[in-house]
A = this chain, B = another copy of it.
Amino acid sequence: MIGFEVIETYGEARAGVLKLNGLEIETPVFMPVGTNANVKLMRPSDLESVGVNIILGNAFHLMLKPGLDVIENHGGLHPFMSWKKAILTDSGGFQIFSLAEGSKVSDEGVELRSPINGSKVFITPEISMKVQKVLKSDIAMVLDQCVPPNADREIVEEAVERTYLWALRSKKAMEGSTQAVFGIVQGGTYRDLRVKSARQITSLEFDGYAIGGLSIGEEREKTLDMTEVTLEFLPKDKPRYFMGAGSPDLIVELVERGVDMFDSVFPTRLARHGAALTWKGRINVRASKYRFDKNPLDEECDCYVCKNFTRSYIQHLLDREEVLGQMLLTYHNIRFMMNFVSKMRKFILEKRFPEFKEKILSVYEKGVRCE
């Protein structure tokens, strides 16, 4: 059961509430990625303590490992991983792009190579929906076809048609389910194809709409342009989800244009590479200048890590390859993302969004790091 309410706007930017199976999730919302039934280096209790209300799971990976039988035996993904809050599951559409080598797409479905053992896996909209039903996610995503940013027009045209066809079949396969289902708009970087896809997908009346196939290597301007074009055709009373955006600068640009939901491995992957997100920009904790730095990762942060540990200590852990260093950075970075979206929401409510945007872009401008 899903509900969505826009509480306040500033231009196109929206502050809302997503109601999902008894949970009230404030938007804009950031969803940490938990591909293999866990957010890397975070226990569910850690996710709760940093304020995470919804995470992303992946139908394609989970059907391969541990396999549906194991998850069905637990009664779904929530009990399997002991996560009581919401889960959105991706369908496998993104894997058509990311595992393109050796994959074959037809109208029926897609044959992919398992990233685990190289064996062939066939996915159809019906299979993806069946998997997501077993996972019992709160939000299921339709199967779509995501194409590379440089794809020829004909390829993108075909993918748009197929995405529509698959959206129809996905919707049909989910009939009678209590899970919310989101449609996905494709169209590459072609304006008219984005419009076409948005019209097609919204005609099917999903519970929410995702913008897919962007932020996968194309120029930032194209990302924003295509998002704008798409958003024009998405209903205002449904949540809008941009798939795969995690950097604060991109999220703030997308929120300005009217996006409500985000997911990315960005904060967790950065953490494993030794970087911290702060209100003064990204910092590389391995840098020698932090060797004696007794400051927390971020002076403005309220998290357990910032209350207890210095940059100097975390650098030591990273240097000795002690995984605790990555654990602490992951914890902090996710807390940062939670504070980031929550503060952004506050600025929308207070009609001061531009101030916030300016602050973020000044330290997170694309390509610019604070050191």
Contact = CB atoms under 8 A, between A and B. Distances in A.
Interface stretch (A125-133, A255-263, A316-324, A342-350): A316-324
A111 B317 CA distance: 26
Interface stretch (A9-17, A74-82, A185-193): A74-82
A65 interface: yes
B73 A38 contact: no
Interface in A33-73: 36-38, 40-45, 65-66, 69-70, 73
B327 A43 contact: yes
Given A42-B324, A65-B316, A292 B73 contact: yes
A43 B328 CA distance: 8
Nearest to A328: B43
A4 interface: no
Contacts of A292: 69-70, 73
Contacts of A106: none
A304 B45 contact: yes
B316 A41 contact: no
A312 interface: yes
A322 B309 CA distance: 25
A351 interface: no
The contact size tier of chain A is 35 or more
A163 interface: no
A336 B309 CA distance: 27
A291 interface: yes
Contacts of A323: 40-41, 323
Interface in A312-366: 312-313, 315-317, 319-320, 322-324, 327-328
Contact of A38 (B308, B315, B322): B322
Contact of A74 (B38, B44, B69, B312): B312
Interface string A16-41: 00000000000000000000111011
Interface string A124-160: 0000000000000000000000000000000000000
Interface of A: 36-38, 40-45, 65-66, 69-70, 73-74, 80-82, 291-292, 294, 304, 308-310, 312-313, 315-317, 319-320, 322-324, 327-328
Given A37-B316, A42-B324, 8 more contacts: A40-B322, A40-B323, A43-B324, A45-B304, A66-B315, A70-B291, A73-B294, A74-B294
13 contacts: A36-B317, A36-B322, A40-B322, A43-B304, A45-B308, A65-B316, A66-B319, A70-B312, A73-B294, A74-B312, A82-B308, A323-B323, A327-B327
